[in-house]
Amino acid sequence: MKLRLALLTAAGLLVAAGGYYGWRAWLAPEDASKNVLTAVVVQGDLEDTITATGSLQPKEFVDVGTQVSGQLKRLLVDVGSVVKAKELLAEIDPSVYQSKADADRAQLSNQAAQLTDKEAQQVLAELQLTRQTNMMREEASTAEALQSAEAATRSARAQVQSVKAQMEQTASTLRGDDANLSYTKIYAPIAGTVVSQAAKQGQTLNANQQAPIVMRIADLSIMTVQAQVSEADVPKLRIGMDVYFTTLGGSSQRYYGKLRQIPPTPNVLNNVVLYDALFDVPNPKQQLMTQMTAQVFFVLASAKNAVQVPLTALRPGSAQGKVAGNTRPGRAAQSTDPRAQFRDGMAQVSVVDKKGAATVRDVKVGVMTRVAAEIVTGLAPGEIVVIGSKAAARPDTPATGSAMTMGQGQGGPH
């Protein structure tokens, strides 16, 4: 009898336990705190940026060429040589130009002698004219003799002027030939570094069609970054804004500058319109080199040591909801940027307390990126906010643990 009673009691307990388990599994309300994804409010630097790819060029460089033809007789520098302004770089064979200048000087000397002779003849003609004039007053000469003396004087004066004009022409030719002779010596127009060399010693250069380039000298102390920005992002840029970049293999070192210029003519590559954005950076140690690739970040807004949450934690406030309700259908869908609904700086977040209960709280939003937002007022570091639900999460989203922590300083590219 006792054994039968014990068996019945055990069977009843099993049925009760099974019923309770089934009720918990199928009918009991599920704990809401286990169905949401959360994140811890953190504190760190935040930047809203536009990213672009660019390349480095020296801000100042000069292609050094030759203005005269001839054989490159001497080349005094190599690629990598550091030169000073007005330093001799190379020399063209000066033989032909030297001979032309010498011939001009000889001709000029000959014309100077002719001028002396003509001036003497002019003096003689003027004396004879004076004598004939005096004799005519005394009626001791004829009118014909006076006229001949006047003509001879005018001729002598004209011959002097002719020789002077020839001398000016020869002097002008001499100046040109002296200039060509001086061009056979090539000097550095600026101080800098020889970054490329297009001619070799002994090579014959022809300057009749265009000036041949011998080398390029660049001042590497200041580099210009030429970033290519899409036409959609160009309106957001402004001259003088902060910008920085990193280089491939340059670890995380940042080089800072200010946006200097946006030329109005774009580059069209595969039907993609890109505009150049230029800014300068100092390069005292010459770590930056020509044609290096730069990952450029234009800083639209930034916040130091900011309280921040993931952007998915924000929800439109009640006022925003009313405005959105009055908006015509389809207007909100035109913006693909989720930050557009928080441009007025107001939002709401769901804050989870220690017991797992979530309460809605109004917050003021500052700087926003596509992944994070600065909370100016309304939250403190260490609090936990709801950022989504596990049901809406992707299959590869981790569902174990109820807290997802943001990394400090998170503020990825715009």
Tell me, what CATH number does 273's domain have? 2.40.30.170
Has residue 346 been placed in a domain?
Answer: yes
Whether residues 293 and 347 fall in one domain: no
pLDDT in tens, 304-337: 999 999 999 999 876 554 444 444 444 444 457 7
Whether residues 190 and 309 fall in one domain: no
Has residue 253 been placed in a domain?
Answer: yes
CB-facing half-sphere around the CA of 153: CA atoms within 13 A: 16
The pLDDT score that the predictor gives to residue 5 is 53
The 8-class DSSP code of residue 144 comes to H
Is 411 a residue whose pLDDT tops 80? no
Domain span at residue 117?
A: 96-182
Has residue 244 been placed in a domain?
Answer: yes
User: pLDDT above 90 covers what percent of the chain?
Assistant: 65
The b/e string for 228-259 (b: 16+ C-beta within 10 A; e otherwise) is bbeeebbeebeeeebbbbbbeebeeeebebeb
The pLDDT score that the predictor gives to residue 145 is 86
Whether residues 87 and 189 fall in one domain: yes
Q: Check residues 167 and 395 and name the one with the higher pLDDT.
A: 167
Is 31 a residue whose pLDDT tops 60? no
Is 65 a residue whose pLDDT tops 50? yes
Split at pLDDT 50, 70, 90, the class of 414 is very low
Contact 284, 233 (CB under 8 A): no
Tell me, what CATH number does 207's domain have? 2.40.50.100
Q: How far is residue 371's CA from residue 382's CA, in Å, rounded to a whole number? A: 19
Return mean pLDDT, the chain: 84
66-84 average pLDDT score:
93
Tell me the angle at which helices 143-183 and 95-137 cross, rounded to the nearest 10 degrees.
Answer: 160
Is 24 a residue whose pLDDT tops 60? no
Q: Which two tokens stand for residue 386?
A: 């709801």
Whether residues 88 and 189 fall in one domain: yes
The pLDDT score that the predictor gives to residue 333 is 41
Has residue 287 been placed in a domain?
Answer: yes
Split at pLDDT 50, 70, 90, the class of 12 is low
What's the Rg (C-alpha) of the chain?
45
Is 236 a residue whose pLDDT tops 80? yes
Contact 373, 309 (CB under 8 A): yes
Whether residues 253 and 129 fall in one domain: no
Q: Which residues pair with 352 in a beta bridge?
A: 358, 384
Has residue 14 been placed in a domain?
Answer: no
* pTM, 2 dp: 0.68
Q: How far is residue 184's CA from residue 205's CA, in Å, rounded to a whole number? A: 11
Sorted by sequence, the CB contacts under 8 Å of residue 251 that are 6+ apart come out as: none
The pLDDT score that the predictor gives to residue 321 is 47
Conformational region of residue 222, where left means phi above 0, alpha means psi within -120 to 50, and beta covers everything else: beta
pLDDT in tens, 81-114: 999 999 999 999 999 999 999 999 999 999 999 9
Q: How far is residue 338's CA from residue 378's CA, in Å, rounded to a whole number? A: 21
Is 407 a residue whose pLDDT tops 80? no
User: pLDDT above 70 covers what percent of the chain?
Assistant: 81
Look up residue 31 and give its amino acid: D
Antiparallel, parallel or unpaired: β 358-368 and 346-352: antiparallel
The pLDDT score that the predictor gives to residue 29 is 44
The pLDDT score that the predictor gives to residue 33 is 55
Whether residues 245 and 289 fall in one domain: yes
Q: Which residues pair with 302 in a beta bridge?
A: 47
pLDDT in tens, 169-188: 999 999 999 999 999 999 99
Whether residues 344 and 281 fall in one domain: no
Has residue 39 been placed in a domain?
Answer: yes
Split at pLDDT 50, 70, 90, the class of 53 is very high
344-353 average pLDDT score:
91
Contact 357, 36 (CB under 8 A): no
Split at pLDDT 50, 70, 90, the class of 211 is confident
- Using DSSP, how many helices (H) and how many strands (E) does the chain show? 4, 19
Whether residues 308 and 401 fall in one domain: yes
Contact 248, 288 (CB under 8 A): no
Conformational region of residue 356, where left means phi above 0, alpha means psi within -120 to 50, and beta covers everything else: left
The pLDDT score that the predictor gives to residue 18 is 52
Tell me, what CATH number does 348's domain have? 2.40.420.20
Whether residues 197 and 86 fall in one domain: yes
Whether residues 150 and 259 fall in one domain: no
Has residue 212 been placed in a domain?
Answer: yes
Q: How far is residue 51's CA from residue 299's CA, in Å, rounded to a whole number? A: 9
How many domains is the chain built from?
4
- φ, ψ at 315 (rounded to 5°): -130, 150
Whether residues 199 and 89 fall in one domain: yes
pLDDT in tens, 107-135: 999 999 999 999 999 999 999 989 988 98
Look up residue 70 and give its amino acid: G
Split at pLDDT 50, 70, 90, the class of 405 is very low
Look up residue 20 and give its amino acid: Y
Sorted by sequence, the CB contacts under 8 Å of residue 367 that are 6+ apart come out as: 46, 47, 48, 301, 302, 303, 306, 373, 374, 411
Has residue 78 been placed in a domain?
Answer: yes
The pLDDT score that the predictor gives to residue 343 is 81
Whether residues 309 and 175 fall in one domain: no
